[in-house]
Amino acid sequence: MLLRKVTQSPALCGSILRIPPVLSGGQRQARAVVNSRLYASEATQAVLEKPVAVGSHATAKVEKQAVSIESKSFAVNIFKGQIATSQVFPYPSVLNEEQEQFLRELVGPVCKFFEEVNDPAKNDALEKVEDHTMEGLKEMGAFGLQVPSDLGGLGLTNTQYGRLVEIVGSHDLGVGITLGAHQSIGFKGILLFGNPAQKEKYLPKLATGEHIAAFCLTEPASGSDAASIKTTAVQSPCGKYFTLNGSKIWISNGGLAEIFTVFAKTPVKDPNTGELKDKISAFIVERSFGGVTHGPPEKKMGIKASNTAEVYFDNVRVPADCLLAEVGGGFKVAMNILNNGRFGMAAALSGTMKGVITKAVDHAANRTQFGNKIHNYGAIQEKMARMAMLQYVTESMAYMISGNMDSGATEFQIEAAMSKIFASEAAWNVTDECIQVMGGMGFMKDSGVERVMRDLRIFRIFEGTNDILRLFVALNGFQNAGNQLKSLQKALKNPLGNAGLLTGEMTKRAKRMAGLSTGLTLQGAVHPELAHSGELTVKAVEQFGIVVEELLVKHGKKIIDEQFVLKRIADCAIDIYAMVVVLSRASRSLSQGQATAQHEKMLCETWCMETHERVMRDIKTLRSSDSARLFKNLRTISAAMVENGGLVTPHPLGF
């Protein structure tokens, strides 16, 4: 069946290409974007100059700006019950020919290197990346992928970076972490916030891998709570240096690094009140400053090849030149580094999934039981199909976000967080199912999947646990929806002056009440063959917008304390984004007439069907009065366990 469709596809695609003029127009648009594309160093800069409406440091002023300027982000808009297609349709193709060529030249050798030189099992057993591998990586320039070429790096765009990281992820996540801790977060601060002098001083050596970098934020008492950072940096009376004291834990590359991006509290005088207040500042700290020591490598569950250690700073004299951004500006630095690095994880994990799926498929195709290859059995088929869908979604997400970033989008933070959540969980599920397909074989060390599983586990935890990022996704969305509601409320005060807006809102609500479509549509954006999936997505967005508004009106400001609700809202939002991402990618494939277009269409349709169901179910739960009881029960059970110091129920045997 599938085969037949694929063979038909060229003819089909040809006709399709002629049919929709809208899509070809979109295609042209994409090309225009490519032409006005920014080069790597510029791209990173552009990314930085976004309005800081991200997360917690969204100040009132910035928010007002955000209200006046319509957001282009798809994820932001679904919380308002709207669809903004500009960032998602058509699927971004941001590489120009030169860049594509360059990337093509890179992919081959990198693949070859990881297949032939790097030995993930050995790295895992040794609990370090082998020296010759390190040397090889350095030679290839893998330590300076996004460093501008004039400073000795490869000067890759985010998309190019994603593609290479994908290869790393598919082979060895331990190496991936070593590289990621170095360039995705380790010296990203210098790249984003460093002044020219700092860049020139540090980046060349970092790009060649001569110096390894590390990102020092986490402390024993401070995970996501920046206020509890204990490390201090006190400015000397002369103002020429800071004295840094404190300790950081679980620092990737902590034992190898020469350059550290350290976050510490500095007393800052409030310009308004004149009060001294501790604020976070970011510093570049060289090991050679003296006073920097590290603990032994930590014993971990996975990513053993990467070095993780405690780092201690004992009266380290940091010259004032090594301050990143301004004094007290560390929070912004940290936020931006983290937000900018997240898409890379999705890219790496899509590679990981690709790797394990290959193994699973290989096994399923060759293993015979009861005289049949096991891939003939429905149980295995379902697993394989789901694995393929998850990988397809993750991959689509990763490159859509990197594409958005490269084309100068300033609002990708919610999407990036979504991709991190989705990718880490999808990879976990895929690997888990891969082991299941492989049976006992998967459980054995030799198959190499067991290591992947261990390595993967951390991705749901670090750089903001998925649970916390879900709060970020949901709350950011609610904030935007709230701003919209507020402006509506303001408009109501002057109904005559805002007649247009108000009648629009009224008809929208009236239509909702009558159960009609409110005029949202993906028609024209989605390929006609995927119209049904598009409709499902639109329905989901509509319902989602309604439930968000209801919840906001119901809870108001206190929605922030309703984490049961927030979690479900975030799940819905991620699912909807995933739907639209695959729709976009499958539409592109269909309209370009790619050989795999029909297969992609099937992936997309299946995904949309299932996800639509799931979103609707979640929304129903949120709207029903039962959910309140459910949440209360969950809360009570948890409280009882805490009170009991463990499970409450007695043993069924009574002892």
Partner 1 sequence: MKSARCLLHLQCLRLLDRSARSAAQCAPLLQSSSSSQPSVLHKNQHQLLRQFHSSPAWSKSQPTPADDHKKDKSLVTNDDLFEQVAKDVKVKATFNKVVDVFLNRDVRRRGHVEFIYAALKKMPEFGVERDLTVYNKLLDVFPKEVFVPRNAVQRMFNHYPRQQECGVQLLEQMEEYGVMPNVETKVLLVQIFGKKAHPVRKYQRMMYWMPKFKHVNPFPVPVQLPEDPVDVARFGLARIANDLDAKVNVYQLPCTDITETGEEITIPHVVGIQSPSQMELLAKHNPNRPVFVEGPFPLWLRQTCVHYYVLRADPPEEKVEEPYDPERSLYYPLQLDVDFGRDLGDEENFDVEDLDEGPVFAMCMTGRGDQATLNQWISGLQENNPMLGQVPTLFRVNAGPQELSASADAESGQAHRPDTKTRSGEKLQRDGEPGVIVEEEPQRRQGRNQ
Binding site for partner 1 (CB under 8 A): 55-60, 63, 217, 224-227, 279-280, 331, 334-335, 338, 464, 468-469, 471-472, 475-476, 478-479, 482-483, 485-486, 489, 552-553, 556-557, 559-560
User: Would you give the DSSP letter of residue 181?
Assistant: I
Tell me whether residue 356 or residue 469 sits nearer to partner 1 (CB atom).
Answer: 469
Compute the least distance from the CB of residue 622 to partner 1, in Å: 18
What length does the chain have? 655
Residue 583 is encoded by which pair of tokens? 């729709």
Q: How far is the CB of 413 from partner 1 (least distance, A)?
A: 11
Query: What is the three-state SS of 295-358?
Result: CCCCCCCCCCCCCEEEEEEEEEEEEHHHEECCCCCHHHHHHHHHHHHHHHHHHHHHHHHHHHHH
DSSP letter for each residue of 481-541: HHHHHHHHHHHHHSTTTTHHHHHHHHHHHHHHHTT---S---BTTB-GGGHHHHHHHHHHH
> Known catalytic residue: 463?
yes
Q: Residue 212 in contact with residue 257, Cβ under 8 Å?
A: yes
Residue 312 C-beta: closest distance to partner 1, Å = 22
Q: Work out how close the CB of 336 gets to partner 1 at its nearest, in angstroms, rounded to a whole number.
A: 11
Nearer to partner 1, 569 or 608 (CB): 569
Nearer to partner 1, 131 or 225 (CB): 225
**Residue number, 510 or 553, with CB nearest to partner 1:** 553
Peptide bond into 20 cis (omega under 30): no
Which residue reads 């693949």 in tokens?
Answer: 111
Q: Find the shortest distance in angstroms from Cβ 561 to partner 1.
A: 10
Smallest distance from the beta carbon of 487 to partner 1, in angstroms? Answer: 11
Pair 174, 124: CB distance under 8 Å: yes
Least separation in angstroms between residue 252's CB and partner 1 is 17
CB 607 within 8 A of CB 534: no
For partner 1, which is the closer residue by CB, 347 or 414?
414
Least gap, CB of 217 to partner 1 (angstroms):
8
Q: Which is nearer to partner 1, 329 or 442 (CB)?
A: 329
Residues 6+ apart with CB under 8 A from 364: 373, 374, 375, 380, 384, 437
Smallest gap from Cβ 556 to partner 1, in A, equals: 6
Q: Three-state DSSP class for 637? A: helix
Q: What is the dihedral of CA 500, 502, 507, 509, to 10 degrees?
A: 150
> 174 or 464: whose CB is closer to partner 1?
464
CB-wise, 93 or 281, nearer to partner 1? 281
Question: What is the spatial distance between Cα 86 and Cα 103, in angstroms, rounded to a whole number?
Answer: 26
Residue with Cβ nearer partner 1 (91 or 472): 472
Determine the Cα–Cα distance for residues 406 and 157; give it in Å rounded to an integer.
Answer: 7
Looking at residue 629, its amino acid is R
Q: How far is the CB of 45 from partner 1 (least distance, A)?
A: 23
DSSP annotation of 92 reads P
The strand pair at 308-319 and 372-373 is best described as unpaired
- The tokens of 211 are what? 């110096």
Q: Is 179 helix (H, G, I), strand (E, B) or coil?
A: helix
Taking the C-alpha atoms of residue 354 and residue 503, their distance in angstroms, rounded to an integer, is: 50
Query: By C-alpha distance, which of 480, 488, 548 is closest to 512?
Result: 548
CA dist., res. 481 & res. 366, Å (int): 52
Query: What does the alpha-carbon distance between residue 89 and residue 563 come to, in Å, rounded to a whole number?
Result: 32
Q: How far apart are CB 485 and partner 1 at their closest, in Å?
A: 7
Smaller CB separation from partner 1, 92 or 329:
329
The least CB distance from residue 621 to partner 1, in Å, is: 21
Q: Looking at beta carbons only, is 225 or 446 nearer to partner 1?
A: 225
- Distance CA(310)–CA(255), nearest Å, equals 8
Q: Tally Cβ neighbours within 10 Å of residue 444.
A: 13
Identify which of residues 399 and 412 has a Cβ nearer to partner 1 in the complex: 412
User: Of 450, 116, 103, nearest to 301 (Cα)?
Assistant: 450
The C-alpha angle with vertex 153 and arms to 152 and 154, in degrees rounded to 5, equals 135
Half-sphere exposure of 530 (CA within 13 A, CB side): 39
DSSP assigned state of 458: G
Catalytic, out of 463, 529, 542, 605: 463
DSSP β-ladder status, 259-269 and 213-216: parallel
| 606 burial level (CB within 10 Å; 0-12, 13-18, 19+) | middle
- Residues annotated as catalytic are 463
